[in-house]
Amino acid sequence: MTTITEIAPDIFRINTFIPEGNLGFSQFLVRDEEPLLFHTGMRALFPLVREAVASLIDPAKLRWIGFSHFEADECGSLNEWQAIAPQATAVCSMVGKMVSVDDFSHVNPAKGMIDGEEFSTGSHTFRFISTPHVPHNWEAGLLFETTSGVLFASDVLHQNGDVPALTSDSVIDRVRQSMLEMQASPLADYLPYTPKTEATLKRVAGLKPRTIASMHGSIYSGDGERAILEYAEVLKEVFGPQD
Ligand SMILES: [Fe+2]
Ligand SMILES: [Fe+2]
């Protein structure tokens, strides 16, 4: 079932839980003069996501499609979206644009962003944070909505399970448990822990997000700086050098 939750003014979480994988997938619609969808979801989810978006805006008016990195759950239905919204333009890292997205996307060249670059959709302003290999993949980046303090966090704070849409309770225990479950599965080594991981996450924590809009699991509202620093510790513990 696909559910819609408004997580900040005119920012909506569209979530589909897939029981076979014990995992939810969220896309985020920002309803604005130039509507933005962050994550498209996989192609298989496209009919559900389109229907959910259509309950909030005219899908043909979608202007921006943002995502962290090049992966099916991040941008798998980019082409399907551009078929129904021809002006919809991918917004991703410059690396993502140059290496994969402009080859994959059939309609419009992507807007390639560099670290710290900002753009506006009308009443929302977004800052792009370049985060190579965080959560994973060379081209990874995150978007921070500067007015409401929402961090579009991709796989950061990933939680398995059919969990509440929103919470102000710490999710870090659930994150640790989920990463341990991944390590014990065919999906082991989901995230890299590199010599730069801690510094990258400290920089993200420094944004002091008030809401962390993760793709998988509950949206955390509260002390986002602390949540990201705790997340860095969990990554070190689970994926860092083992004695
Ligand atoms: Fe990912
Ligand atoms: Fe993901």
Which ligand has an atom closest to residue 216 CA? 2
pLDDT above 70 coverage of the chain, percent: 100
Q: How confident is the model at residue 21 (pLDDT cuts 50, 70, 90)?
A: very high
pLDDT score of 242: 87
pLDDT score of 24: 98
The CA distances from residue 63 to 29, 79, 143, 161, 212, in Å, are 11, 13, 16, 32, 23
Torsion, CA 85, CA 87, CA 91, CA 94, rounded to 10:
130
Q: How confident is the model at residue 97 (pLDDT cuts 50, 70, 90)?
A: very high
The CA distances from residue 89 to 65, 81, 106, 199, in Å, are 6, 10, 11, 31
Q: pLDDT (tens digit, 9 = 90+) per residue, 186-240?
A: 999 999 999 999 999 999 999 999 999 999 999 999 999 999 999 999 999 999 9
Going from the Cα of 26 to the center of ligand 1, the distance in angstroms, rounded, reads 12
Domain ranges in the chain are 2-239
Q: How confident is the model at residue 58 (pLDDT cuts 50, 70, 90)?
A: very high
pLDDT exceeds cutoff 80 at 174: yes
Q: pLDDT (tens digit, 9 = 90+) per residue, 106-126?
A: 789 999 999 999 999 999 999
Going from the Cα of 50 to the center of ligand 1, the distance in angstroms, rounded, reads 21
Going from the Cα of 171 to the center of ligand 1, the distance in angstroms, rounded, reads 19
Going from the Cα of 160 to the center of ligand 1, the distance in angstroms, rounded, reads 14
- Facing residues of 144 across strands? 127, 151
> Which residues have a beta carbon within 5 Å of ligand 1, which is an ion?
71, 155
pLDDT score of 185: 97
Going from the Cα of 181 to the center of ligand 2, the distance in angstroms, rounded, reads 15
The one-letter amino acid at 150: V
140 contacts 132 by C-beta, under 8 angstroms: yes
pLDDT exceeds cutoff 90 at 243: no
pLDDT score of 121: 98
Structure token digits, residue 216? 């998988």
CATH code, 2-239: 3.60.15.10
Mean pLDDT for 15-37 is 98
The secondary structure of residue 10, as a DSSP letter, is T
Q: pLDDT (tens digit, 9 = 90+) per residue, 121-169?
A: 999 999 999 999 999 999 999 999 999 999 999 999 999 999 999 999 9
Which ligand has an atom closest to residue 131 CA? 1
Going from the Cα of 160 to the center of ligand 2, the distance in angstroms, rounded, reads 11
pLDDT score of 1: 87
Mean pLDDT for 65-69 is 98
Residue (of 110, 143, 108, 112) closest to 127 by Cα position: 143
Going from the Cα of 71 to the center of ligand 1, the distance in angstroms, rounded, reads 6
171 contacts 227 by C-beta, under 8 angstroms: yes
Q: Could you give the CA distance from residue 112 to residue 108 in angstroms, rounded to a whole number?
A: 12
